[in-house]
Structures are given as C-alpha cells and as structure tokens.
C-alpha cells in the first residue's frame, strides 16, 4: 500500500504543483500572476489579486502532497480549489473533460480526500517526523471534505458578494 500511496501522491502532487507554478510564476506555459488575476476577476472574485495568489498557492500545495508533508492540510487546499473550480467553471460543461467538464477537478478532489483519509503512507515526510499517525484517518478525510465544502461556500458567497457591494457602492 505504501508504494501505491507514494505513486499516487507523487503524480497527483507534482501535477497540481505544476498547475500552481503556472499561475504563480508563469512556468510551463502558464498565465503567470497577471493572467491568473484576470481569470479570477472574470469569475467575479474580488479583490482579484489575493484570490489569484490563494488559487496558485493552493494548487502549488501539491508539492507538500507529493512529499507527504502536512498531508491533510495540502489535501484540504487542493480539495477547496478543485471544488471551487467545479462550481465556478466546469459544472455547466458536464462531466467529461473533453468538453471542459468537471472530470479532472473531481478526480483530483477525490484523490485529496482519499489520501487525507488513508494517510500519506510509509514513504512520507509526515512519517519521517512521526506525524503520520496524528494526521490520518477516516475523520481527517471527512474533515477535509466537510471543510472544503464550507470554505468553498464561503469563498463563493463572500468573495463574490464583495464584488456586488462594490458595484452598489463604488469607492
């Protein structure tokens, strides 16, 4: 099981780190900070700069997942950003990724919740420093999923409500 968890964490974590690096630094042909800010603004989140940075950092937390470091917290960051992406971008396009659907973010979110529930495994920094027993279990998985739902709800309501308030009362 440990080898399987290592492979899963490494591939999904590195992939998500790459997505975050695209947004934060413009690496791998990504939009960089300005492009990410524009995307976040187009989705209606205000203020756009902090939201853009948070999106990039959440995806870049894939590095922590790959290393198995503070695993449930990395899983939470990924679950929040993927659930938010599903709701704001992918849901209207249906399931399949070929049509811009939610297939990929749902898969990543599911991996994040599952790894939080199972723990990072033997080959992880959490294990090396003795934290793996304290940072894993079904309650961590349920907690990550529940917290992701609450944080996403707050992000979608408060983050977008700020925009509506500014439209009503411009500075």
Secondary structure class of 26 (helix, strand, coil):
coil
pLDDT tens for each residue of 107-116? 999 999 999 9
Q: How confident is the model at residue 165 (pLDDT cuts 50, 70, 90)?
A: very low
| Contacts with 119 (C-beta within 8 Å, 6 or more apart), sequence order | 5, 71, 126, 132, 133, 135, 136, 137, 140
Per-residue pLDDT averaged across 22-42, rounded? Answer: 96
pLDDT tens for each residue of 125-141? 999 999 887 777 889 99
Residue whose pair of structure tokens reads 């997942």 in the numeric block: 65
Higher pLDDT, 160 or 28: 28
Per-residue pLDDT averaged across 80-99, rounded? Answer: 97
Angle at the Cα of 109 (from 49 to 56), degrees rounded to 5?
20
Residue 143 is inside which H or E element, if any?
Answer: helix 138-168
Q: What sign results for the dihedral spanned by CA atoms 10, 141, 135, 137?
A: negative
pLDDT tens for each residue of 67-88? 999 999 999 999 999 999 999 9
pLDDT tens for each residue of 33-60? 999 999 999 999 989 999 999 999 999 9
**Domain ranges for the chain:** 2-168
Q: What is the pLDDT of residue 131?
A: 87
């Amino acid at each position: 099981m440990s080898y399987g968890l290592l492979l899963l964490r490494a591939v999904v974590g590195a992939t998500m780190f790459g997505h975050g690096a695209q947004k934060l630094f413009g690496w791998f042909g990504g939009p960089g900070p300005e492009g990410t800010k524009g995307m976040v603004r187009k989705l209606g989140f205000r203020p756009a700069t902090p939201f853009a940075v948070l999106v990039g950092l959440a995806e870049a937390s894939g590095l922590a997942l790959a290393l198995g470091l503070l695993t449930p917290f990395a899983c939470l960051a990924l679950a929040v950003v993927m659930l938010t992406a599903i709701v704001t971008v992918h849901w209207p396009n249906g399931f399949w990724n070929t049509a811009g659907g939610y297939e990929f973010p749902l898969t990543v979110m599911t991996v994040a919740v599952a790894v939080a529930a199972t723990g990072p495994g033997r080959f992880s920094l959490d294990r090396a420093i003795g934290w793996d027993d304290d940072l894993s279990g079904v309650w961590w998985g349920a907690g990550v999923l529940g917290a992701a739902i609450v944080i996403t709800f707050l992000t979608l309501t408060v983050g977008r409500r700020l925009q509506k308030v500014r439209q009503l009362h411009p500075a």
